[in-house]
Structure 1
């Protein structure tokens, strides 16, 4: 039984000496002193309990045991190199699985097409997309069920990392035959008298709208809650009332005339936000995807 460990350095000296037939040349290739290389080879032979080379003139030639040892040593070194290369690859282009949470507007109307492009370019990364309202995504990030989140509006909390991601514009809209559809200007007071069709509480869109109207001293008293964006659009189209959603969610209906944007002055611009746990504790994979999201936002902002 061996009472000493064989080191990677010893195997490197052995393999290089076998290749060059000269301990001095092996030392030069490995950037060692000749004495250090000789010591490593001697320690390896002592650990194994047998010599690996025969000396012929000034050169060293593998003996029978050395020839048996060589492919094994080469295999070990190859495995070590592959392992180290894998670590560096992980730092440059990580691999693995990540859960990305998106609030409803982002997950349904913006992100899927870009996610497909990313996954096509990164076959060794898998991403599960979870869609929910802003509060739900924030909770999932907080408890570790989601690695990164893209949400609507600001959280203003201390336990999550958040940054501006992409600018968004909310649109107040109604049916083309609604009484406000023909107005050149729709005031907050007019909006307060209407029945509103809105997302559930916890929705970033609803929070933004309510905050904008509250700043003008007006409250929305007649609100019908519908938890699905497509259902909200269909309800408004049928004449149930007015609503407010991201321009991303209603651009198709506005373009074909099924819905009508109302000319309001509520300051309904907002930021989509990127959230996660403490930025300093991000894994290489999470950090890589976060940077891709930042780059994507820059591209979309230039369109």
Structure 2
């Protein structure tokens, strides 16, 4: 039964019988037959056709939710009886906001897989709020985001420090300024991230400390990713504030990082999990590895 539960969870996660069959090295009909056998054992229909794909029935949603919980409990049991090494394989689904997902996690996960090459990863990227919702919905094992979500059901652990800096295109006249003040570019067009991103939240909190808000600026463009911000700044639409992690080779990208007098934006990235809910063995090992890489500077709380 446990194998059927794992297969069912994998089919739901991949949203593809073909993909699961390919990964398991079996035929698609074999996967279909196993799911049908699982339905017969439970006495309910779990999936129904929807367009070219499928969706969960109400009973299927209930079974999927309990399946994830029971697989988590099984992993916890095996961990406690000392069999974790045998289970150090499988797939870990991590959610991430844009900066950690695009610029940081690929590096750390590559290093981790040198120790545990049998562990596979799926990385979903979106804004911090979206990733928090995915953690709550059991759609990802855990997440790495740019905002704190300490609630009744979620808990955040500080991971790495980040800094947002003023960024303009290399041909912007402000590049020649020795000292840039906040008031000097308030009328110029600005590019910002979308509502829900930790990036935007950190920027708005920094403005509040200055007695300002976004209405005091000329917002020309709102976009949903860091790369889109960089491309918009590079094309000359306006300036923005970007993470230092996204600008390792700033000059080569046609962008210039400049300091703004008496205005700094610091924030943290956080490991986000469901409160009091154990991770699978593989997910727990991944989480612990990332936590062990955390910055020595733990004072950033946004």
Question: If the length of structure 1 is used for normalisation, what is the TM-score?
Answer: 0.65
Matched residue count: 217
Say whether the 8 Å CA contact 2:97–2:126 is kept in structure 1: yes
TM-aligned CA distance change 1:294 to 1:93, over 3 Å: farther
Say whether the 8 Å CA contact 1:173–1:242 is kept in structure 2: yes
In the alignment, which residue of structure 1 is the partner of 2:264? 267
In the alignment, which residue of structure 2 is the partner of 1:149? 143
Distance in 1 (alpha carbons) for counterparts of 2:150 and 2:186: 27
1:112-123 aligned at under 5 Å gives the runs 112-123=106-117
In the alignment, which residue of structure 2 is the partner of 1:291? 288
Say whether the 8 Å CA contact 1:188–1:213 is kept in structure 2: no
Which of 223, 232, 250 is equivalent to 1:235?
232
In the alignment, which residue of structure 2 is the partner of 1:94? 88
More contact order relative to length (CA 8 Å, sep ≥ 6)? 2
Which of 167, 171, 174 is equivalent to 1:177?
171
In the alignment, which residue of structure 1 is the partner of 2:56? none
Distance in 1 (alpha carbons) for counterparts of 2:79 and 2:144: 33
Mind listing any 5+ residue stretches in structure 2 that lack a counterpart? Answer: 1-77
Distance in 1 (alpha carbons) for counterparts of 2:79 and 2:211: 62
Q: For residues 46-79 of structure 1, give each alpha carbon's deviation from its aligned partner in whole angstroms, at most 9, with x where no partner exists.
A: xxxxxxxxxxxxxxxxxxxxxxxxxxxxxxxxxx
Q: Does 1:194 align with 2:191?
A: no
Find the structure with the greater CA-based Rg: 1
Question: If the length of structure 2 is used for normalisation, what is the TM-score?
Answer: 0.65
Deviation of 1:126 after TM superposition, in Å, equals 2.0
In the alignment, which residue of structure 2 is the partner of 1:109? 103
Distance in 2 (alpha carbons) for counterparts of 1:86 and 1:124: 21
Q: Does 1:251 align with 2:245?
A: no
Say whether the 8 Å CA contact 2:128–2:197 is kept in structure 1: yes
Say whether the 8 Å CA contact 2:168–2:238 is kept in structure 1: yes
Deviation of 1:87 after TM superposition, in Å, equals 5.6
Deviation of 1:168 after TM superposition, in Å, equals 1.1
Deviation of 1:85 after TM superposition, in Å, equals 11
Q: For residues 237-276 of structure 1, give each alpha carbon's deviation from its aligned partner in whole angstroms, at most 9, with x where no partner exists.
A: 1211111111111222x23371111211323121111100
Say whether the 8 Å CA contact 2:169–2:254 is kept in structure 1: yes
1:26-105 aligned at under 5 Å gives the runs 88-90=82-84, 94-105=88-99
Mind listing any 5+ residue stretches in structure 1 that lack a counterpart? Answer: 1-83
Which of 127, 136, 140 is equivalent to 1:133?
127
Say whether the 8 Å CA contact 2:97–2:144 is kept in structure 1: yes
Deviation of 1:233 after TM superposition, in Å, equals 1.0
Deviation of 1:148 after TM superposition, in Å, equals 0.9
Structure 1 vs Structure 2 CA RMSD: 2.7
Say whether the 8 Å CA contact 2:165–2:259 is kept in structure 1: no
Distance in 1 (alpha carbons) for counterparts of 2:161 and 2:87: 28
Deviation of 1:154 after TM superposition, in Å, equals 2.2
Deviation of 1:172 after TM superposition, in Å, equals 1.2
Distance in 1 (alpha carbons) for counterparts of 2:162 and 2:79: 42
Deviation of 1:300 after TM superposition, in Å, equals 11
